[in-house]
């Protein structure tokens, strides 16, 4: 079986769920081979979890510099691994950073790139979302090693323990003049909430929420369900909620089990970021809102009446 390289998303201690999804996707094409980029000791800390999810090898690209720069070290690590392993494909998460890594890697390798993949079959044919979510196409890379950015939430993680073999990658020195350096990090607002792209439940608010204060209703429902909070661009642009929570074409793509849209009209650019959610619930006081065309369950009503009742009901059932 050929190797399939998977770029590991992690926080230094914990592998993100999106990586387990990539490992499950990789198993359709060959043997999953994880590429771990991080500071010294990172790969050792993560190997057990990766092997439990089917990684037959772990390529460790450890360097103190790895976390100081944005995408360059990841591209370097993957390029090295591709040249050593000659994999059937390279899979990365279709996050903002992941897509940038994928694009740069494909350019370096002079290879084909497919983004926003939501499915792939053993022949290497990829189902991807294109044109901001308005179409789904099946495509295949015919030139070079396929680089595929997979939407988080598209595959179910699988536990299939194997023994992982470790390989070390020696990263080239980074040219600071040609690479974006991280100058500081700020903690996300989320607190104990799951990350937006990883959450099984996402509750999003739109312009209909009416203000930053109104988002407390959205947060309370998200917390009752153990979910993450998202926002439409209109809500973000109006300053109701920070940009890092924007869902949509120019925000994050999410694919949770349950997506609840509160006061969101359902513009195509918003749908582009959440239409692959397994179950979609919309609350909107306008019965003609386009979001009802996509929703599995629609409630025509005032979100300030509906969401608190839902929150109370969920809390009562969980008590
Ligand atoms: P609106 O369209 O104003 O809808 C608000 C809804 O709230 C209405 O349907 C209204 O009936 C309902 N409402 C009001 N009060 C209540 C209440 N009390 N209870 C229940 N319902 C109520 N948008 C994104 O979201 N994400 C993106 O990434 C994105 N990228 C874009 C990229 C480009 C290039 C462009 C041109 C646009 C993009 N947009 C994006 C913007 C998009 O076109 C819409 O303008 C935006 O999604 C609208 O947000 P909204 O649904 O919150 O607001």
Q: Quick: pLDDT tens for 138-182.
A: 999 999 999 999 998 889 999 999 999 999 999 998 888 888 898
**Per-residue model confidence (pLDDT) at position 189:** 60
Residue nearest to atom 18 of ligand 1 (CA): 302
- What is the 233 CA–ligand 1 centroid distance (Å)? 6
* ipTM for the whole complex: 0.99
Structure tokens given for 23: 């490992």
pLDDT at 190 over 80: no
The rounded distance, in Å, linking the Cα atoms of 312 and 319 is 10
Q: Quick: pLDDT tens for 248-298.
A: 988 998 989 999 999 999 999 999 999 989 999 999 999 999 999 999 999
Ligand 1 within 6 A of CB of 168 = no
Ligand 1 within 6 A of CB of 120 = no
- What is the 271 CA–ligand 1 centroid distance (Å)? 10
* 188 band by pLDDT with thresholds 50, 70 and 90: low
- What is the 281 CA–ligand 1 centroid distance (Å)? 15
The rounded distance, in Å, linking the Cα atoms of 266 and 210 is 16
Q: Quick: pLDDT tens for 200-231.
A: 999 999 999 999 999 999 999 999 999 999 99
Ligand 1 within 6 A of CB of 298 = no
* 19 band by pLDDT with thresholds 50, 70 and 90: very high
Q: Which of 230, 278, 282 is nearest to 257 (CA)?
A: 278
Show the 3-state SS of 159-171. Answer: CCCCCCEEEECCC
Helix (H, G, I), strand (E, B) or coil at 150: strand
- What is the 250 CA–ligand 1 centroid distance (Å)? 13
- 10 and 3 Cβ atoms separated by less than 8 Å: no
CA distances from 43 to 13, 37, 87, 118, 130 (A): 10, 8, 20, 27, 34
Ligand 1 within 6 A of CB of 261 = no
Ordered DSSP codes for 26-50: HTTTSEEEEEEEESTTHHHHHHHHH
**Per-residue model confidence (pLDDT) at position 187:** 67
Residue nearest to atom 31 of ligand 1 (CA): 269
* 185 band by pLDDT with thresholds 50, 70 and 90: confident
Cα dihedral value 296, 297, 302, 308, nearest 10: -110
């Amino acid at each position: 079986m050929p190797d399939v390289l998977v770029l590991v998303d992690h926080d230094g201690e914990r592998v993100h769920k999106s990586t387990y999804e990539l490992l499950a996707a990789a198993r359709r094409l060959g043997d999953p081979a994880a590429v771990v980029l991080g500071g010294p000791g990172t790969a050792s800390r993560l190997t057990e979890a990766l092997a439990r999810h089917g990684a037959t090898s772990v390529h460790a690209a450890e360097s103190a510099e790895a976390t100081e720069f944005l995408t360059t070290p990841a591209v370097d690590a993957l390029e090295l691994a591709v040249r050593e392993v000659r994999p059937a494909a390279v899979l990365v998460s279709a996050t903002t950073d992941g897509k940038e890594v994928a694009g740069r890697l494909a350019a370096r390798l002079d290879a084909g790139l497919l983004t926003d993949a939501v499915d792939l079959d053993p022949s290497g044919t990829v189902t991807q979302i294109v044109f901001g979510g308005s179409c789904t196409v099946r495509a295949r890379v015919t030139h070079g090693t396929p680089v595929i950015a997979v939407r988080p939430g598209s595959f179910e993680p699988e536990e299939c323990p194997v023994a992982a073999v470790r390989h070390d990658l020696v990263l080239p020195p980074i040219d600071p003049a040609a690479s974006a350096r991280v100058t500081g990090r700020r903690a996300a607002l989320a607190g104990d909430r799951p990350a937006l792209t990883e959450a099984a439940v996402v509750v999003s608010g739109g312009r209909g929420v009416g203000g930053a204060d109104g988002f407390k209703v959205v947060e309370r429902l998200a917390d009752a369900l153990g979910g993450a909070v998202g926002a439409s661009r209109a809500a973000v642009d109006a300053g109701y909620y920070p940009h890092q929570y924007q869902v949509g074409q120019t925000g994050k793509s999410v694919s949770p089990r349950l997506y609840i849209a509160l006061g969101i009209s359902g513009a195509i650019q918003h749908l582009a970021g959440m239409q692959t959610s397994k179950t979609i619930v919309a609350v909107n006081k306008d019965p003609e809102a386009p979001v009802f065309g996509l929703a599995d369950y629609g409630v025509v009503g005032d979100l300030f009446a509906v969401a608190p009742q839902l929150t109370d009901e969920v809390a009562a059932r969980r008590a």
